[in-house]
Amino acid sequence: MARWILIVYSVISLLALMLMLSRENLYVVIALAAGFLLLGHRELWSLVRYGRMPVIDERVQNNLTGAMRITGVFFFILSIVLILLFRFNVFKNTPKELIISGQLVIVGFVYVVSYYYYDRVQPYLAGRALRWLKICLITAGLCLSTIALAIVLHNMVSRWLGFEDAFFFVLGLLVAPSVLALSLLGCLAIYIKGLCSGLREVEQS
């Protein structure tokens, strides 16, 4: 079943790439190629190295389900943020193809990180580390939403008052991004800690 899914996805991606190349949408072509490599990296690596599809047992199914759930939530939140930013013309001189392409690549990267989180990080994290990871992730999500809302509210309030609003400007471009960066650094530190613990466990066994 997984083999046929990968084959169908490959054919669709190839047709989409040919269509985009004919229209010279280079950004979308690169994003589709990167997304294909990210989403199918396990299958492609197994085919290249062993000549067969990887075994999908119950553990792998749980990892895939968790990774797809996180990726879906992230894609939903990011899409809402981009819609708000597009609505108020925040990306004035940036091509929309570049932004959408970046979104596709980021979503693929989030899927890979999420899969390896369930596969090689979560089993080796203690309860306290998992709690801090959830806190950092929730904080990062709130900061991302705050950035989008602050930019939107800054434009609305400035239009109503007739002069540049300072509160939402500082909130959206200084405070929220700083907290977002700290939250992501915290997530990265906990993720690397769990990954290193997993690698040590594998070496000892």
Judge whether residue 1 has pLDDT over 60.
no
Q: Does 72 or 21 have the greater pLDDT score? A: 72
* DSSP annotation string for 30-57: HHHHHHHHHHTHHHHHHHHHHSSPPP--
CA distances from 30 to 24, 35, 89, 97, 101 (A): 11, 8, 25, 11, 8
Calculate mean pLDDT across residues 117-128: 83
Taking phi first (over 0 means left), then psi (-120 to 50 degrees means alpha), and beta for anything else, what does residue 91 get?
beta
Judge whether residue 121 has pLDDT over 60.
yes
Give the CA dihedral 7, 9, 12, 15, nearest 10 degrees: -70
Residue 38 and residue 111 in contact, taking contact as beta carbons nearer than 8 Å: yes
- pLDDT of 178: 94
DSSP label at 178?
Answer: H
Q: Does 92 or 28 have the greater pLDDT score? A: 92
Taking alpha carbons only, the member of 175, 190, 176 closest to residue 136 is: 190
Residue 145 and residue 172 in contact, taking contact as beta carbons nearer than 8 Å: no
Residue 63 host element (H or E):
helix 58-87
- CB-hemisphere CA count at 13 Å for 47? 11
Calculate mean pLDDT across residues 20-30: 58
Average per-residue pLDDT for the chain: 77
Calculate mean pLDDT across residues 108-122: 85
